[in-house]
Amino acid sequence: MVNIDVFILFLNAFLTTLISSIIVVIILRRKYLPAIRKMEQEQEKSRQQPESERSGTQ
Amino acid sequence: MTTTIFFVVLIFYVVAGGLVARLVKNKSDFYVMGEKGSTLLIVGTLGATYLSAVTLLGIAGQSYAEGPLVIAALGSFGAWIGTLIAVVYIGRKMKALGCTTMPDFFEMRFKNKKVSIIALVIMIVGLLGYGVIQLIGAGLVLSQVTGISFPLMIVLFTLALLVFCALGGMYGVVVTDTIMLFTMLAISCLIAPLLIGQAGFDNMKALSETIPFYWTIGGAEQRPLGWSISQFLVWILFFSCTPALVSRVFPAKNDFVILKAAVIGVFLAPFMQVIVFLAAGGMQVIQPGIETTDNVMIIGFMNHVPEALGGLGLAGLMASIMSTASTLFVLTGFALARDLYEHLFDKKLSEKRSLRVGRYAQVLVAVVVCVIAIMQPAAIYWISIYAGAIFGVGWLPTVVGGLEWKRMNSQAAIGSMLAGTTAFIVVDELVRRAVITLPIHIDSLMVAFAVGVLTLFIIGFSTRPSAHEQAFYKKMKQTSMSAITIKDFASRPNGLAQLKKEYKQTMIISISFVFIAALIWGYFLMMLGF
């Protein structure tokens, strides 16, 4: 049978890392992922623009 | 042998600190290492500052005597969560606002001299009181072990700290902290596991037969659960607003560094502490009956592991003293030079002169620390009772209110800081003199925190913020560390690729450490929990 007090110690030690990791993952997904997607779209748009300009002049 | 180790380690740290000083070219290098801090350096300084001599001496001793769960299971859990709040919430927000020191926040948010002065007094008393008493306690133990006289020990420590702090500023402290962290990790990764191995998990578990309740949260003294819960709350309050931890974020290069440091640094906090506490429990098997329990880990280093590892353990103990002391003292010097002399006295200084003033302040702090530590005036013991926790009651309500509440203003800040600090001292003194008795699950720190918060709300609701406070609140809400970092990456050539690389790296680190933590703590649970 598990010693509940010992279990609480190691659970808390594990929870500390779990909580910090969850917070960091949430920040990454909420703040950085949309920005990355937006920058990717802009890059894609600017890549397509010179191509269409080129096709227009040729 | 111990004296030789002491001098070799001290010289090594001083040489490293001296070499780093050459990198300090301007004011920004001195105060925030030019905001060039990498993940390794920020994790290094965070971990090294977190682990103080209290873990290796006082709490290890208590774990030996009463059982490893007494402080670790709930009290230390509060400290780990507090560290997370300090880094990811308060430190990150303050850095986004451009704070170089914590008093910068009070200055920017309220633009009120009274608020700045009260915040500064709390900072100087808190850091000096807590730092000096730790230096005295650890210095006494180390002097006993090495045979070096206590005054000489303090002078040597002060001279070493002068090299880190006065010459290297934040650069010196962060780099030497990182080097020191590796010595401290040697204790958790090598020496403590060796002691646990010698004791054997079965023998350690069997301790509860000879010492009843040894493997319970209440421990051999059978402390009530209310006490353990109050320790959990007290340590959250204690750590979440302490400048020693919050300011570790300021030298970081960008938000990704802070986020990675939050995961790794917060993982290291229990990793460095719990294994030491378990080893202290193991010492109860290896050598029962140690009366000066504070020395239990030193006895373990000196008598129960190979000589070279014992020396490394002693070096780790020295590192834990010096890294915490250097951070506390460098911040006191910053408060004197930058926040008091330059800002409050409104001195416009050139870059060169400002750097010189910063260094003079460090020399002044070193002299004061040295004199107080050697003289040991009675007042320092009284101050130290309140110094460490003063930020929890004096600053925390104002800082959180300042960051989150639209109505927050200078009157509420003054009222809350004064009421919280006064209530803490008055209630604690009344309890100490047995005039009043608090329930076991209530600590004077919690009462004072409640007084501080209540005062803040009462004054906040009955007064109005100034135009500056309203404007700053608006600006603050539009500022974030992520926005600053994204803008910075977007302005770089190939910025998107770099941003994606950092995103991926931070995500991998976050997920990996969950598995690492599960493996380590799962292993110990299997060995000690069943």
Q: How far apart are CA B66 and CA B58, in angstroms?
A: 12
Verify whether the Cβ–Cβ distance A5 to B215 is below 8 Å.
yes
What are the C-alpha distances in Å from B132 to residues B75, B154, B376, B416?
A: 23, 10, 9, 27
What are the C-alpha distances in Å from B163 to residues B150, B173, B203, B432?
A: 20, 9, 46, 40
Q: How far apart are CA A51 and CA A55, in angstroms?
A: 6
User: How many C-beta atoms surround the C-beta of residue A31 within 10 A?
Assistant: 16
Query: Does the pLDDT of residue B270 top 90, yes or no?
Result: yes
Return the pLDDT at A56. 55
The mean-pLDDT minimum among B192-196, B294-298, B371-375, B378-382 falls in: B378-382
Structural contact between residues B91 and B255, judged by C-beta atoms closer than 8 angstroms? no
Q: What is the pLDDT of residues B486-521, one digit of tens each?
A: 999 999 988 999 999 999 999 999 999 999 999 999
Verify whether the Cβ–Cβ distance B263 to A13 is below 8 Å.
no
Query: Does the pLDDT of residue B326 top 50, yes or no?
Result: yes
Residues in chain A with CB shorter than 8 Å from the CB of B188 are none
Residues in chain A with CB shorter than 8 Å from the CB of B77 are 12-13, 15-16
Return the pLDDT at A50. 66
Helices (H) and strands (E) in chain B, counts: 29, 0
What are the C-alpha distances in Å from A19 to residues A23, B262, B511?
A: 6, 10, 11
Angle CA B58–B63–B65, to nearest 5: 95
Q: How far apart are CA B349 and CA B262, in angstroms?
A: 35
Task: For chain A, positions 15-54, list CB contacts with chain B under 8 A.
Answer: 15-21, 23-25, 27-28, 31-33, 35-36, 39-40, 43
Residues in chain A with CB shorter than 8 Å from the CB of B480 are 31
CA distance A57 to chain B (A): 28
Judged by a CB distance cut-off of 8 A, whether residue A1 touches chain B is yes
Q: What is the DSSP string of B312-369?
A: HHHHHHHHHHHHHHHHHHHHHHHIIIIIIIIIITT----HHHHHHHHHHHHHHHHHHH
What are the C-alpha distances in Å from B327 to residues B97, B129, B477?
A: 22, 13, 30
Which of A6, A24, A33 minimises the CB distance to B529? Answer: A6
Residues in chain A with CB shorter than 8 Å from the CB of B276 are none
Name the pLDDT band for A53 (thresholds 50, 70, 90). Answer: low
Verify whether the Cβ–Cβ distance A36 to B500 is below 8 Å.
yes
Which of B72, B266, B490 minimises the CB distance to A17? Answer: B266
Return the pLDDT at B407. 95
Q: How far apart are CA B112 and CA B416, in angstroms?
A: 15
Verify whether the Cβ–Cβ distance B506 to A24 is below 8 Å.
yes
Q: What is the mean pLDDT of residues B32-45?
A: 93
Q: What is the pLDDT of residues B99-157, one digit of tens each?
A: 988 999 999 999 999 999 999 999 888 888 888 887 888 788 788 888 889 999 899 88
Residue with tokens 């802009």, as numbered in its chain: A42
CA distance B263 to chain A (A): 6
Judged by a CB distance cut-off of 8 A, whether residue A56 touches chain B is no
State both tokens at B119: 């915040």
Q: How far apart are CA B181 and CA B264, in angstroms?
A: 13
Query: Does the pLDDT of residue B401 top 90, yes or no?
Result: yes
Verify whether the Cβ–Cβ distance B263 to A7 is below 8 Å.
no
Structural contact between residues B90 and B237, judged by C-beta atoms closer than 8 angstroms? no
Which of B74, B215, B263 minimises the CB distance to A3? Answer: B215
Verify whether the Cβ–Cβ distance A6 to B503 is below 8 Å.
no
Verify whether the Cβ–Cβ distance B495 to A32 is below 8 Å.
no
Q: What is the pLDDT of residues B197-252, one digit of tens each?
A: 999 999 999 999 999 999 999 999 998 888 888 889 889 988 999 998 999 999 99
Q: How far apart are CA B406 and CA B469, in angstroms?
A: 9
Judging by beta carbons within 10 Å of its beta carbon (0-12, 13-18, 19+), is residue A50 exposed, middle or buried? Answer: exposed
- How many structural domains is chain B composed of? 1
Return the pLDDT at B106. 94
Considering Cα of B427, then B431, then B437, then B441, what sign does the dihedral take?
positive
Structural contact between residues B32 and B198, judged by C-beta atoms closer than 8 angstroms? no
Return the pLDDT at A58. 45
* For testing contact with chain A, the best of B80, B215, B222 (most A CBs within 10 A): B80
Residues in chain A with CB shorter than 8 Å from the CB of B72 are 9
Which of B270, B496, B524 minimises the CB distance to A40? Answer: B496
Q: Which residues pair with B37 in a beta bridge?
A: B252
CA distance A41 to chain B (A): 11
Name the pLDDT band for B522 (thresholds 50, 70, 90). Answer: very high
Q: How far apart are CA B196 and CA B282, in angstroms?
A: 5
Q: Which of B173, B135, B157, B164 is nearest to B15 (CA)?
A: B164
Return the pLDDT at A55. 58
- Domains of chain A by residue range: 1-52
Of residues B68 and B158, the one with the higher pLDDT is B68
Q: What is the dihedral of CA B512, B513, B516, B522, to 10 degrees?
A: -120
Using CA coordinates, name the residue in chain A closest to B69: A9
Query: Does the pLDDT of residue B358 top 60, yes or no?
Result: yes
Return the beta strands (E) in A1-58 as ranges.
none
Helices (H), B147-215: 150-162, 168-186, 192-199, 201-205, 207-210
Return the pLDDT at B395. 93
Q: How far apart are CA B3 and CA B94, in angstroms?
A: 43
> Would you give the DSSP letter of residue B247?
G
State both tokens at A25: 């993952």
Helices (H), B102-149: 102-110, 113-146
Number of Cα atoms under 13 Å in the Cβ half of residue A13:
29
State both tokens at B473: 């609140």
Number of Cα atoms under 13 Å in the Cβ half of residue B188:
22
Query: What was the ipTM of the complex prediction?
Result: 0.90
Which of B216, B486, B496 minimises the CB distance to A5? Answer: B216
Q: What domain range is B118 assigned to?
A: 2-529
Name the pLDDT band for A54 (thresholds 50, 70, 90). Answer: low
Give me chain B's average pLDDT, please: 90
Verify whether the Cβ–Cβ distance B84 to A23 is below 8 Å.
yes
Q: What is the dihedral of CA B10, B15, B20, B22, to 10 degrees?
A: 140
Q: Which of B320, B472, B499, B353 is nearest to B405 (CA)?
A: B472
State both tokens at B319: 């590192």
Q: How far apart are CA B469 and CA B25, in angstroms?
A: 35
Amino acid identity, position B179: I
Name the pLDDT band for A52 (thresholds 50, 70, 90). Answer: low
Q: Read off the CATH number of the domain in which B207 is found.
A: 1.20.1730.10
Q: How far apart are CA B137 and CA B129, in angstroms?
A: 12
Q: How far apart are CA B463 and CA B457, in angstroms?
A: 10
Of residues B330 and B1, the one with the higher pLDDT is B330
Q: How far apart are CA B68 and CA B276, in angstroms?
A: 9
Verify whether the Cβ–Cβ distance B215 to A18 is below 8 Å.
no
CA distance B201 to chain A (A): 13
Return the pLDDT at B347. 75
Which of B274, B480, B499 minimises the CB distance to A13? Answer: B274
Residues in chain A with CB shorter than 8 Å from the CB of B269 are 16
